[in-house]
Amino acid sequence: MRNAETKRKALGRLRRIQGQVQGLQRMIGDDAYCVDILLQISAVRGALEQVRKLLLGRHIESCVADAVRPGSRGDRQKKIDELLDVFARFGR
């Protein structure tokens, strides 16, 4: 990861997610109400989605843009194919 600010933000969000997951473990251990657990799982998924967006945006801004600008035709196509593959995986 090239950008220190992106790295700081991603790690901060992942630490918060880690706390949420630990909370989920406690909820399950304490036999919390199922709907409350499901809502918390949804919150964790949303938080992970935000990390994904952050990292994908940074990847597009840096790696892909750098390859497309001065790169050879092969380099550009490789990055475009990689990006399309990433989007296809997220579409599942």
Q: Over the stretch 41-90, which tens digit does the pLDDT of each residue have? A: 999 999 999 999 898 888 888 776 766 676 677 777 887 888 888 878 87
Read off the pTM: 0.76
Taking the C-alpha atoms of residue 62 and residue 56, their distance in angstroms, rounded to an integer, is 10
Domain count for the chain, please give it. 1
Specify the CATH number for the domain of residue 70. Answer: 1.20.58.1000
Sign of the Cα torsion 4, 83, 50, 45 reads negative
Per the structure, the complete domain to which residue 11 belongs is given by 4-90
